[in-house]
Amino acid sequence: MIEEAKKNQITPLRYLFGGLSKHPGAIFVAVILSTLSTVLLTLPSVLLGLAVDELEAEGAVTSLLVTYVWMIVVSILVYMVLFFIVNYVWAVVGHRWERDARQEFIEILQENSMTFHDEVDSKRLLSVAMQDIFWIRFSLNPALPDIVSAIASFGVTGFFLAMIDMEVAGSPLPIFSLIILIGTPVYLISAYSFANRIESIRRVRSETMEEITSISQGVFSGIEVVRAFGSEEREKEKFRTTAEKYEKMVTREGRLSAFYIPAVILIAMTTIAFLYGGVAVADSVLSKGSFVTVLTLLISLTGLNFHLPNVLLSLRGGMINAERVVKILNWQDPMIEPEISSKVDWTSDIIFNDVSFRYSNNENGDHYALRNLSMTIPSGSRVALIGGPGSGKSTLLKLLMRLYDPTEGTIEIGDIVLKSVATKDVRNAVGNVEQDIFLFRMSVRENIAFGHPDASDEEVETAAKRSQAHDFIMDLPNGYDSMVGERGTTLSGGQRQRLAIARALIQDPKILLLDDAVSAIDAKTEFEMRRALDEALRGRTSITVTQRLRTLIESDLVIILDKGRLIAMGSHDELIQTSREYRRIFSRLPGADPILKSAAIGGTQ
């Protein structure tokens, strides 16, 4: 289904029933058995009629009557077996569908490029993966088999009524058959149109629920901000409006099952059968037993009224859920993988050739994140990259990792255009230590080995030692086996960063990108961090986004971006003399006066 989703746009209907077409044989058998089991469930009504006739005729409890009683018991026992099998088949089909659909859904999401993940709220993705797919499964099982057996009930009832019609001697019209022949389609059509009414309501209801979740999540995560601006009343109002909208939708959805018109159709059918059957019995053309059969059959059909409305709504609701899933699956990825990945000498210079980049959700705008960037990063150099908010520096790093492709221009490494290299190969060669260190809910060891899954324990330890992480890891309760991430051992920012450096070291990338975010750390940690960084940067081309002034001074090359343009590039000594923006960095710093003064003299030369 992955391929299908990528190439053709799949429709909600195909998505919904895709699971069934996988097991056509099983479904066929299930439908047959389901019909059979409906026959068995209906049989007692017929047997009851026969028993009544026997009773009327003989006026005694004959052995035939006792046989009928036993037949009722036997038929229900066989029914149990059949039902179990049918249910088992549907359960297999339904639950497997759910499992596979969820797996495929999340795999497609993970394959999608970062453009997708930047655009779509992950809360929404999660709720589609869990809720919507659950409800679709619910509409496949139990809702769909319930509908199958409901339709079978109509069919089987019709069959028995037709048999009874044949018994009615001399009647000009097969009235019972007509009742069911006319009544059934009318019932089903009105039931279908009833189910259709849920569509808009269910959609708005789901969206409003999302809104409620999002409002409360937002407000309570930021409760201090709410308090600080004294805007409790405003937030209350906002929630009130949404909660009331939700109330309205829930009410409307609940009220759908009221005044279920199809029930009236069944009442009409029963009334006609009651009257006609009564007359026929009086005319001695119909046995009392058959009359009883007709009535009990129709009463059984009435029993469907309790269950069928909800089932129909579930099935129709499932379609809406399927629409939501399909809308996400059909997203078209602008990033195209090359047919054959070009070989690259990663130790070459990195050349930016008039590179411009625009995020895709802004197709008509002229808001470029990067504009006409041309520069060469010499092989093996230590580069510091800085720039104001929105200057495009993180975009630049993302382009180098091929999380995105340039909108215009090319990035070349050793004469090879990066676009012609498979993302997998790019990311093997280009390592990354990001700003907000993300650690998975795994052990420390697994988190470090994330950069190189086959790494031995020794390799993990070596990497940890080189990144100055080994000592604090050994102090953790379970050493390298301590769990980190959510609900795991809590680590400080400095510790997390050193783990991330270890993770990058073990990957041993040719080019290392490093967003070096420093939180408030002490001199001891800082000292260790700088040693870890030195270790990480040795022997490869590196680009560091940094706050450390020391790093700026020690870099081979400093690049300053502003509003997506390159505004200055050179060594610290050059820039302190030539760049106003660069000098600004040091202006508020105590003890920086000598540097600036000497530079000022240099600058005027």
Measured CA to CA, the distance from residue 520 to residue 433 in angstroms comes to 18
Q: Which stretch binds other proteins (CB under 8 A): 8-16, 28-36, 194-202, 252-260?
A: 252-260
What is the amino acid identity at position 411? I
Is 315 a binding residue for other proteins by CB under 8 A? The answer is: no
Q: How many residues does the chain have?
A: 605
Is 91 a binding residue for other proteins by CB under 8 A? The answer is: yes
Distances in Å between the Cα of 583 and the Cα atoms of 322, 329, 375, 550, 574 are 57, 49, 22, 14, 11
Name the minimum Å distance from CB 265 to other proteins: 11
Name the minimum Å distance from CB 394 to other proteins: 6
Span 508-547, contacts to other proteins by CB under 8 A: 517-528, 530, 545-547
Strand (E) positions, 503-590?
A: 511-516, 541-546, 557-562, 565-570
Among 158, 183, 387, 406, binds other proteins (CB under 8 A): 387
Among 96, 197, 203, 465, binds other proteins (CB under 8 A): 96
Binding mask 553-572 for other proteins (x = CB under 8 A): x------x--xx--------
Is 243 a binding residue for other proteins by CB under 8 A? The answer is: yes
**Cα angle 153-139-251, degrees, rounded to a multiple of 5:** 100
**Phi, psi (rounded to 5 degrees) for 514:** -140, 115
Binding mask 139-178 for other proteins (x = CB under 8 A): --xx------------------------------------
Among 401, 421, 505, 543, binds other proteins (CB under 8 A): 401
Measured CA to CA, the distance from residue 586 to residue 429 in angstroms comes to 35
Name the minimum Å distance from CB 352 to other proteins: 19
Is 88 a binding residue for other proteins by CB under 8 A? The answer is: yes
Using an 8 Å Cβ cutoff, are 578 and 570 in contact?
yes
Pairing of strands 382-387, 370-377: unpaired
Is 195 a binding residue for other proteins by CB under 8 A? The answer is: no
Is 267 a binding residue for other proteins by CB under 8 A? The answer is: yes
Among 80, 166, 474, 600, binds other proteins (CB under 8 A): 80
Measured CA to CA, the distance from residue 429 to residue 425 in angstroms comes to 6
Task: State in Å, rounded, how far the first CA of the chain is from the last one.
Answer: 68
Is 468 a binding residue for other proteins by CB under 8 A? The answer is: no
Is 472 a binding residue for other proteins by CB under 8 A? The answer is: no
**Cα angle 16-20-26, degrees, rounded to a multiple of 5:** 160
Binding mask 423-452 for other proteins (x = CB under 8 A): xx--xx--xx-xxx-x-xx--------xx-
Name the minimum Å distance from CB 16 to other proteins: 18
Tokens of 494: 């400095």
By CB under 8 A, how many residues form the interface with other proteins?
192
CA dihedral 415, 420, 426, 432 (to 10 degrees): 80
Using an 8 Å Cβ cutoff, are 583 and 596 in contact?
yes
Is 587 a binding residue for other proteins by CB under 8 A? The answer is: yes
Tokens of 199: 């569509």
Measured CA to CA, the distance from residue 411 to residue 414 in angstroms comes to 10
Of 300 and 342, CB closest to other proteins: 300
Is 126 a binding residue for other proteins by CB under 8 A? The answer is: yes
Name the minimum Å distance from CB 339 to other proteins: 19
Span 60-79, contacts to other proteins by CB under 8 A: 60-61, 65-66, 68-70, 72-73, 75-77, 79
Measured CA to CA, the distance from residue 157 to residue 159 in angstroms comes to 5
Of 159 and 220, CB closest to other proteins: 220
Is 574 a binding residue for other proteins by CB under 8 A? The answer is: no
Instruction: Lay out the sheet containing 370-377: strands in order across.
Output: 370-377, 350-357, 408-413, 416-417
Q: Greatest CA span in the chain, whole angstroms?
A: 129
Among 3, 259, 477, 604, binds other proteins (CB under 8 A): 259
Span 281-300, contacts to other proteins by CB under 8 A: 281-284, 288, 291-292, 295-296, 299
